[in-house]
């Protein structure tokens, strides 16, 4: 074999090796990118639910996840690490007490306590080790901003109790705004609309004196005042309780409708709950966290001495629109 022939053979072998190495690198990048996407989609399913049922985390906690550890690989560990989760926020029946947050009226027959199951009962995400990185072994970034503006932080810049609205991977180069496909940023934003519920409540009453089998819509001719109270979990990073959203309807059908929230937890609660009266006998609660909840309605017929209530009703709110018809049948006298 001449020297020229040897050089040709070596050149061919080098070209084949280069092609093989390039292909192997591409395959490795694809595999690591696919793993990043797989883990990101797990985040989405865990927090957003599957579209027909709420995520277990949202149902139990009533909120988005928060930063409970800033150790490397643990910025989202509230989803899986029971050792990092405070014992006083773990699953139990919590009581909304009339002693702490009194009813607007002083009627003795109103319930003194209403229990709502709430708290952490994970793991909600299966992680085989204590830490969780992207497919390239890099730290995930968490969006700790608001629904209208982003604020991406890693474990060195995030603060305890920051809410988490999404996760991001920087790709192989672990740098922002990469141009190659394997260096591109990949965001997995939790969707507020995917994990909130609306509740439409229709109120009826049964007048046993007139017709014990007939249910009537409430209107100003029958009802002078009506209240609808919705009880939902109120879980922060280090404590939990029950929050009441109270929709109040006063006077005639032309009177204004108001609502109030106790305790006032807007600053530490991810959903901005609201209530509005659609009609005299219909109230709508919006931007709720889905899950097991309790409802109580009461009011009085003209004259005021004829007080009625529904009793405490259990609801299992699903993502999207929910409806319930409530019958005021119990006499509060």
β-strand partners of 291? 317
The overall average pLDDT reported for the chain is: 83
Express each pLDDT in 50-108 by its tens digit: 767 778 998 999 888 999 999 999 999 999 999 999 999 999 999 999 888 888 888 87
> Tell me, what's the pLDDT at 268?
45
Whether omega before 15 lies within 30 degrees of 0, making that bond cis, reads no
Least confident of 112-121, 198-207, 248-257: 248-257
The runs of H, that is alpha helices, within 150-213 are none
Give the whole-angstrom CA distance, residue 259 versus residue 243. 13
| The pair of three-digit structure tokens given for residue 321, joined into one six-digit string | 């629109």
Q: How confident is the model at residue 241 (pLDDT cuts 50, 70, 90)?
A: confident
Check pLDDT > 70 for residue 258.
no
Q: What is the pLDDT of residue 266?
A: 45
Closest CA to 171 of 180, 158, 160, 162: 180
3-state secondary structure 210-232: CCCCCEEECCCCCEEEEEEEEEE
What pairing do the DSSP bridges indicate for beta strands 291-301 and 223-235? antiparallel
Mean pLDDT to the nearest integer, 147-171: 92
pLDDT digits (tens, 9 = 90+) for 209-229: 555 566 666 665 566 778 899
Q: Compute the average pLDDT of residues 126-134.
A: 86
Reported as a single tens digit per residue, the pLDDT across 270-279 is 567 888 888 8
Least confident of 112-121, 179-188, 284-293, 324-333: 324-333
Segment 270-294 shows an average pLDDT of 85
Joined together, the tokens standing for residue 86 give 């405070």
Exposure string of 173-206, with b = 16+ CB inside 10 Å and e = fewer, is eeeeeeeeebbeeeebbbeeebbbbbbebbbbbb
Residue count of the chain? 333
Q: Enter the tokens of residue 14.
A: 């080098």
When computed from its CA atoms, the radius of gyration of the chain, rounded to whole angstroms, is 28
Q: Rounded to a whole number, what is the distance in angstroms from the first to the last CA of the chain?
A: 112
């Amino acid at each position: 074999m001449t020297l020229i022939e040897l050089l040709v053979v070596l050149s061919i072998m080098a070209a084949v090796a280069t092609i093989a190495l390039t292909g192997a690198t591409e395959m490795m990048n694809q595999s690591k990118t696919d793993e990043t996407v797989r883990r990101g989609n797990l985040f989405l399913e865990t927090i957003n639910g599957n579209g027909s049922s709420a995520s277990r985390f949202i149902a139990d906690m009533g909120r988005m996840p928060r930063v409970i550890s800033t150790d490397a690989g643990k910025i989202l560990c509230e989803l899986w690490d029971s050792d990092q989760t405070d014992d006083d926020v773990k699953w139990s029946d919590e009581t909304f007490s009339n002693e702490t947050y009194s009813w607007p009226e002083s009627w003795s027959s109103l319930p003194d306590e209403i229990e709502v199951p709430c708290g952490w009962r994970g793991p909600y995400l299966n992680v085989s080790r204590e830490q969780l990185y992207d497919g390239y072994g890099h730290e995930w970034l968490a969006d700790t901003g608001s629904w209208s503006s982003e604020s991406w932080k890693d474990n060195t810049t995030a603060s305890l109790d920051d809410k988490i609205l999404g996760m991001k991977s920087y790709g192989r180069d672990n740098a922002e705004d990469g141009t190659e496909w394997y260096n591109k940023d990949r965001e997995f934003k939790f969707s507020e609309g995917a994990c909130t519920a609306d509740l439409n409540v229709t109120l009826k009453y049964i007048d046993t004196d007139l017709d014990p089998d007939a249910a009537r819509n409430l209107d100003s001719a029958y009802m002078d005042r009506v209240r609808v109270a919705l009880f939902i979990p109120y879980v922060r990073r280090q404590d939990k309780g029950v929050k009441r959203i109270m929709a109040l309807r006063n006077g005639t059908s032309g009177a204004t409708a108001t609502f109030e929230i106790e305790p006032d937890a807007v600053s530490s609660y991810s959903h901005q709950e609201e209530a509005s009266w659609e009609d005299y006998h219909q109230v709508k609660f919006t931007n709720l966290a889905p899950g097991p909840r309790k409802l109580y309605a009461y009011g009085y017929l003209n004259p005021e001495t004829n007080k009625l209530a529904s009793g405490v009703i259990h609801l299992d709110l699903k993502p999207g629109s929910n409806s319930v018809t409530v019958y005021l049948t119990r006499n509060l006298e």
